Amino acid sequence: MSTILRVEGYRFYWYSNENNEPIHIHVRRENIKAKFWLNPVRLAGNWGFAEHELNKIIEILENHQTEIANEWSKQK
């Protein structure tokens, strides 16, 4: 598991082997998590985040999308 970004209490990460899935990222805060596809940014799964937090996470991802994509291409 590689942490890519930490912003406003959220940890953005991915796992090293995820069966050749398209570019995506996992997000965690405390014991709640979500998964987002990145091209375009959209929710893939949510395990506990409220709607307003999901919107905030989407905004963060859109602001860091290029940075995350660059890290993805280095790692994969």
Look up the pTM and report it: 0.90
Burial class (CB in 10 A: 0-12, 13-18, 19+), 61: buried
What pLDDT score does 67 carry? Answer: 93
| 8-56: pLDDT as tens digits | 999 999 987 776 788 999 999 999 999 999 999 999 999 999 999 999 9
What pLDDT score does 38 carry? Answer: 94
pLDDT at 75 over 80: no
Domain map of the chain by residue range? 2-75
What pLDDT score does 50 carry? Answer: 98
Residue burial 42-58, b: 16+ Cβ < 10 Å; e: rest: eeeebeebeeebeeebb
pLDDT at 76 over 70: no
